[in-house]
Amino acid sequence: MRSEQQATLEPGLRAGTATAVAQPNIALIKYWGKSDEKLFLPRTDSLSMTLDIFPTTTRVRLAPEAARDTVTFNGEAATGEAERRITAFLELVRERSGRTERADVDTRNTVPTGAGLASSASGFAALAVAAAAAYGLELDATGLSRLARRGSGSASRSIFGGFAVWHAGRADAGPEEADLSSYAEPVPAADLDPALVIAVVNAGPKEVSSRVAMRRTMDTSPLFEPWAVSSGADLADMRVALERGDLAAVGEIAERNALGMHATMLAARPAVRYMSPASLTVLDSVLQLRRDGVAAYATMDAGPNVKVLCPRADAERVAEAVRAAAPGRAVHIAGPGRGARLLDEDER
Ligand code: PMV
C-alpha cells in the first residue's frame, strides 16, 4: 500500500519515474544550529508536528540522454541556490544508488517558500522519497529520513506523520556512523486533537537564511549553549506531556522553547531578528486568549509568522483572535498530517 503513513519503496516498483507528496512540519522543540554542516547533523534533538496542509508534490524522472539535471519549480525553471541544492541532493542519491543518469525534477509547492513556513521540510522530504524510488534506492522510513536530512535538516521529520523526534546523533563519530546516527522517528502521543493556527504575517522570503542565521548564532551568541542545554530538558518534558495528552503543557513547553531560540538569535552579533511588530501583536493576542481561558500557545521559526497551538475545538476562536490582531493577513488552520509518501498513478 503506497498510501501508508511511512514512505517505503514498494518491492518491484520500476525505477525511472516516481512522484511523492510531503507536508511541512512545525517544530515544538526547535532545531537551531548544526554540529556538522556537511552532514546536516543538528546540535540538539528536536520534535515536530507534521501538518495536514501545504503539500509539496514532486516528480523525479530519470533522463538517460540528458547532460544535466533540470528542475522545474511551480512551473518555472529553478535557478540559483534552489537549483544548486536540488542538484547536489540528486548527486548524493546517484552516489548511493550507483547510477549516473541525470533527472528531470518537477516540484509543486503550495506553501510560501523561504518564509519560515517549513517549505524546505516538505520540499526535501518529497524529493527524497521520489528520488530514492526513481533511482531504485531501497530505503525504509529511517533511511529516507536520513536522506531527507541531507537536503534540509527539518525535512528528516516530514517523512513521518503526526509527532516526530529527530535525533541529533553523534557528530563526534566517523562520517559514516555519524550519518547513520541522525534520523527522525514517530513519538508516542495520546490523542490530543490539536490544531495549529498559522498567521502568515509576511509571506515574502526572509532576509537571512536559516543556514546563515544558525551559524551566526552558534558562533557568536552567548545564549546559544544555555538554550541548547535547556532544550534537552524541554524535550524530555515534551515527551511526557505528549504521552499524557496534556495539550496545555505541550503548548507551554513549545512556546518557551521557541522564544528561547529567538533569544539566542537576538543575542547573536550582529543580531538576527525574525520577529516583526506584527508578530508581536499576534503574540499579544495569544496572551490575551490565555487570560480568557483558551489554552493557546505560540511558536515561531526563521521568519515573522506565528503558529498557535490550541485544542482543535478552539481553533476557530483562536483564528478569529489572530485575524483581529493581524488584519488582512492570511490565517490557516492545520491539524496533524501524514508522512511523506509515493503517489499511485491515479492519485497524481
Ligand atoms: O528549514 P531548515 O532545515 O533550514 O531549519 C529551520 C529550523 C527551524 O524551522 C527554525 C526550526 C525547526 O526545527 O524546524
13-189: CATH, from 3.40.50.150, 2.30.42.10, 3.30.230.10, 1.10.3720.10:
3.30.230.10
Measured in Å, residue 118 CA sits from the centre of ligand 1 at 7
What amino acid occupies position 225?
Answer: E
Mean pLDDT by 10 residues, the chain (348 residues): 41 72 98 97 98 96 96 95 96 97 96 70 97 97 98 98 98 97 97 96 84 97 98 98 98 98 98 96 98 98 96 98 96 97 79
Question: 8 - beta bridge partners?
Answer: none
- Which ligand 1 atom minimizes the distance to the CA of 211? 4
Question: 30 - beta bridge partners?
Answer: none
Report the pocket of ligand 1 as residue ranges, CB < 6 Å.
27, 30-32, 46, 120-121, 152-154, 210, 301-302
Measured in Å, residue 167 CA sits from the centre of ligand 1 at 14
pLDDT of 203 reads 78
pLDDT of 348 reads 65
- Which ligand 1 atom minimizes the distance to the CA of 46? 13
194-334: CATH, from 2.60.40.10, 3.40.50.150, 3.30.70.890, 3.30.590.10:
3.30.70.890
Ligand 1 atom 5: residue of nearest CA: 154
Measured in Å, residue 46 CA sits from the centre of ligand 1 at 10
Q: Yes or no: say if 158 and 25 are a contact pair by the CB < 8 Å rule.
A: yes
pLDDT of 111 reads 78
pLDDT of 274 reads 95
CA-to-CA dists, residue 166 to 40, 42, 109, 214, 218, angstroms: 12, 9, 23, 17, 19
Ligand 1 atom 7: residue of nearest CA: 31
User: What DSSP line would sit under 29-88, residue for residue?
Assistant: E----EEETTTTEESS-EEEEEBSSS-EEEEEEEETT-SS-EEEETTEE--HHHHHHHHH
- 21's enclosing H/E stretch is strand 17-22
Domain 13-189 and domain 194-334, same fold? Reply is no
- Which ligand 1 atom minimizes the distance to the CA of 25? 14
- Give residue limits of the domains in the chain: 13-189, 194-334
- Which ligand 1 atom minimizes the distance to the CA of 118? 1
Among 32, 120, 231, 273, which residue has the most ligand 1 atoms within 8 Å of its CB, making it the best to mutate? 32
The cell for 331 is 490565517
Measured in Å, residue 284 CA sits from the centre of ligand 1 at 24
Measured in Å, residue 31 CA sits from the centre of ligand 1 at 6
Ligand 1 atom 10: residue of nearest CA: 301
Instruction: Specify the pTM.
Output: 0.94
Ligand 1 atom 4: residue of nearest CA: 210
Euclidean distance between the first and the last CA atom of the chain, given in angstroms as a whole number: 15
pLDDT of 344 reads 81
